[in-house]
């Protein structure tokens, strides 16, 4: 990018000029009408989710490059689709900009968004650009899911295993390392970079859905699993993503399902590099309350859960089980720590109190 | 609403408290998951449109009540769906709020939105509420349309009649009367109120779609129309809405279709009450450049256009026709005015220059 371009501000080219500049990030066939038209597959339900992000509240040039802000915004919405069991169809992007924002900042934001979206074959299908006193990003993502494969928070039943699709706490660790470079002096550069990258470029776990449905679909190769399914019952999976923290996800699922849960504190997977600079208790704190890991937290029968975790590979784990009642208990199988009741109001900073 | 409630600010109850307060505006079955699930009809395409509105730029408490701001935001998005030939399925609402906004302002905004949406059986299916230095509203609307009934800007062909589904200029007139109460002294109170109401509560023309498809569908009762359709040709209608002004709509359609147009200046329908306070030239200026009338501007064969206008009733009219070339000409059949070429850059304020 030459210096003339990079110094250009939105007010120099106007919203219309900017729209034209951003069209290269959108499929050409959707441009030029009042709305975008998309083809959905037959017998699929539509899934819709929306997020709003405000400069200084949800992102900041101080800690986040425009590419990373774009990636993270796209990833968060795709993760909400994954949490419902849905495949993405497209997103719309509403953008409020001050006149002083540089054109290159906006292009880099779109670059980051499309880098994430392209990984999941998801187009930007519509948008709106308006003048605003504060940079604001409104993303709506829509996807499709077969009605029998919708994942809801409300489907957990007593006896279900609670599966996490990967390690937790890495995103928060990456943020801490960004904000406080003096932390983690024992970390190798590659380890530090990996944790920071996890924070900057979270991966929505759309990849686990085909694995999940393969495990859940009875067929001749999976006799064991088939025998668990009674012919007339629809096996359902409960779950959500852990974008607001693992503790939050499990509590939300339990609330929606009218059940309780017990978590085994030593089963909660954290990055291996945590033991180079964090105590196990700090690591657990990051995992439970750090948030933005964008893993899926799923409740399903124990045998299926074991097979599922095995297919998912490293990082995935059964972290506990659903039980009757309404409390979510953090339990230590080695009895070194007393049982602890988790609650939403507990929050990150109060965990040790 | 009691005084305690009406003085409450968003910061008093927080985003979560506000979300709970606003749940009454949403269907209960869509609340409580990461995303909303909607059922679409088979063989329909999905249509998506998004708008962003910023306090002080797109709405203001000085001229617009929160109910009207909500209605207008919903209406604009439904009009975009109508412009594509689509029926609405739902909208998502992203809301950025300062802590000082009163809870009752937000509730009145939602009240206005849902008043408009309920007229068209359209639910609010998702949302996000965040803290922002400026009140911001991001709406994404979803609809569905059979692929054969998609209305695009690009389908106009030479010889098509240009139909408007109603009078133009009323919304801008209403705004002028709101901003300058000294105008229109000859208007009766009911006439003044009617024009202002048109500005405050625009009607998306979803109602004209069934009439359009009835006219276009050959059947035994419409032999004349059937004879116009060759068996293997798909009759398509070009069009868009006139939210950015009638001149803009026709120019956009011509650009997208690679054609020109001639408009008959005396055929452009304006409210009858205009002649009580505006010259015909002023009325035409309001109609062409005022914007926010949210009528549909449609191009279709002359005979079908006549039948369509007849079914639509008062206000609907054929205002011109599509011809070869690329210019959009304003023509006076009485030759009192010379032909005038319309262009997008002409803008409202420059019309007389």
Look at residue A123 and tell me if it is in a domain.
yes
**Same domain (yes/no): A88, A155:** no
B225: contact with A, CB 8 A cutoff: no
B165's CB contacts (< 8 A; 6+ apart) are: B205, B208, B295, B296, B297, B298, B312, B315, B316
Decide which of B148, B175, B195 is a domain's last residue: B148
Are A314 and A188 in the same domain? yes
Entry pTM: 0.89
Sheet holding B296-300, edge to edge: B238-241, B296-300, B161-164, B317-323, B260-264, B328-331, B340-342
The reply to whether residue B92 touches residue A145, judged by beta carbons under 8 angstroms, is: no
Contact A57 B138 (CB under 8 A): no
Shared domain for A40 and A25, answered yes or no, is yes
Query: Are A203 and A326 in a shared domain?
Result: yes
Which residue, of B148, B181, B208, is where some domain finishes? B148
Q: pLDDT at position A348, please?
A: 43
Q: What is the DSSP letter of A120?
A: T
**Does residue B349 form part of some domain?**
no
Do B36 and B108 lie in a common domain?
yes
* Together in a domain, A83 and A132: yes
Q: Closest CB to B47: pick one of A37, A127, A153.
A: A37
B241 in Cβ contact with B294 (< 8 Å): yes
d(CA A151, CA B35): 10
CATH value at residue B316: 3.90.650.10
Angle at A194 between CA A192 and CA A195, to 5 degrees: 70
How many separate domains does chain A show?
2
Contact B46 A39 (CB under 8 A): yes
Q: How, if at all, do strands B260-264 and B328-331 pair?
A: parallel
Residue A352 maps to a domain: no
Residue B251 lies in a domain: yes
Instruction: Say whether B126 and A49 touch across the interface (CB within 8 A).
Output: yes
pLDDT at A344: 76
Compute the mean pLDDT over every residue in chain B, rounded to the nearest whole number. Answer: 89
A52 within domain boundaries? yes
Residues B188 and B226 in one domain: yes
What pLDDT tens digit does each residue of chain A (353 aa) get? 444 555 899 899 887 888 888 888 888 776 677 788 888 888 889 999 999 999 988 888 877 899 999 999 999 999 999 999 999 999 999 999 999 999 999 999 999 999 999 999 999 998 899 999 999 999 999 999 998 899 999 989 999 999 999 999 999 999 999 999 999 999 999 999 999 999 999 999 999 999 999 998 864 344 454 445 544 445 679 999 999 999 999 999 999 999 999 999 999 999 999 999 999 999 999 999 999 999 999 999 999 999 999 999 899 999 999 999 999 999 999 999 999 999 876 544 333 32
B240 contact A CB<8A? yes
Taking residue B330's Cβ as centre, other Cβ atoms within 10 Å add up to 21
Which of helix, strand or coil describes residue A313?
coil
In this structure, are A48 and A111 located in the same domain?
yes
- CA A193 to chain B, closest CA, distance in angstroms equals 30
pLDDT tens-digit profile of B292-313?
Answer: 999 999 999 999 999 999 999 8
**Could you please report the per-residue DSSP string of B94-120?**
EEEE-TTSBHHHHHHHHHHHHHHHHHT
In a domain, A353, yes or no: no
Supply the CATH number for residue B55's domain: 3.30.1330.10
Contacts of B241 in chain A (CB under 8 A): 34
Q: Which of B201, B104, B170, B218 is nearest to B314 (CA)?
A: B170
Q: Which of B131, B148, B165 is the last residue of a domain?
A: B148
Residue B282 within a domain: yes
Domain assignment present for B351: no
Neighbours of B132 (CB within 10 A): 27
Q: Is A1 on the interface with B (CB under 8 A)?
A: no
Exposure string for B232-269, b = 16+ CB within 10 A, e = fewer:
eeebbbbbbbbbbbbbbbbbbbbbbbebbbbbbbeebb
Q: CA of A240 to nearest chain B CA: how many angstroms apart?
A: 7
DSSP E strands, chain B: 36-39, 45-54, 87-97, 124-131, 136-145, 161-164, 238-241, 260-264, 296-300, 317-323, 328-331, 340-342
Average pLDDT per block of 10 residues along chain B, 353 residues long: 65 85 81 78 90 90 89 96 95 94 94 97 92 95 92 94 98 95 95 96 97 78 48 71 96 96 97 95 95 96 95 95 96 94 63 32
Containing domain of residue A40, as a range?
A: 3-146
B235 and B264 in a single domain? The answer is yes
Same structural domain, B249 and B310:
yes
Q: Are residues A195 and A132 in the same domain?
A: no
CA B133, CA A99: separation in Å to the nearest integer? 16
Residue ranges of B 123-182 with Cβ closer than 8 A to chain A:
125-134, 136, 138, 140-143, 145, 147, 150, 152-154
Which residue in B has a C-alpha nearest to residue A152's C-alpha? B33
B171 and B91, same structural domain? no
């Amino acid at each position: 990018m030459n210096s003339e371009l990079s110094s250009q501000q939105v007010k120099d080219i106007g919203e219309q000029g900017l729209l034209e500049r951003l069209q290269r990030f959108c499929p050409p066939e959707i441009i030029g009408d009042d709305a975008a038209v998309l083809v959905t597959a037959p017998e699929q339900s539509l899934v819709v989710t929306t997020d709003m992000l405000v400069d200084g509240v949800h992102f900041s040039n101080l800690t986040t490059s425009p590419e990373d802000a774009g990636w993270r915004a796209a990833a968060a919405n795709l993760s909400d689709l994954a949490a419902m069991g849905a495949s993405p169809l497209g997103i719309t992007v509403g953008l409020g900009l001050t006149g002083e924002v540089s054109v290159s900042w906006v292009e880099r934001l779109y670059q980051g968004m499309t880098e994430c979206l392209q990984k999941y074959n998801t187009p930007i299908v519509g948008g709106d650009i308006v003048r605003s006193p504060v940079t604001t990003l409104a993303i709506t993502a829509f996807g499709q899911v077969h009605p029998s494969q919708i994942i809801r928070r409300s489907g957990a039943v007593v006896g279900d295993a609670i599966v996490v699709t990967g390690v937790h706490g890495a995103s928060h660790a990456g943020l801490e390392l960004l904000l406080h470079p003096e932390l983690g002096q024992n970390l190798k550069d590659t380890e530090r970079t990996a944790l920071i990258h996890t924070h900057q470029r979270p991966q929505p776990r759309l990849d686990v859905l085909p694995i999940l449905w393969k495990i859940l679909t009875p067929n001749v190769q999976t006799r064991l699993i088939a025998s668990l399914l009674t012919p007339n019952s629809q096996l359902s999976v409960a779950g959500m993503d852990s974008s607001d923290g693992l503790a939050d996800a499990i509590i939300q699922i339990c609330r929606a399902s009218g059940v309780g849960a017990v978590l085994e504190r030593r089963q909660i997977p954290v990055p291996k590099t945590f033991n180079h600079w964090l105590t196990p208790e700090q690591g657990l704190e990051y995992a439970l309350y750090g948030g933005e890991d964008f893993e899926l937290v799923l409740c399903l029968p124990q045998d299926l859960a074991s097979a599922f975790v095995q297919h998912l590979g490293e990082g995935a784990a059964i972290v506990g089980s659903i039980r009757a009642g309404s409390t979510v208990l953090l339990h230590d199988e080695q009895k070194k720590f007393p049982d602890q009741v988790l609650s939403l109001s507990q929050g990150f900073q109060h965990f040790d109190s």
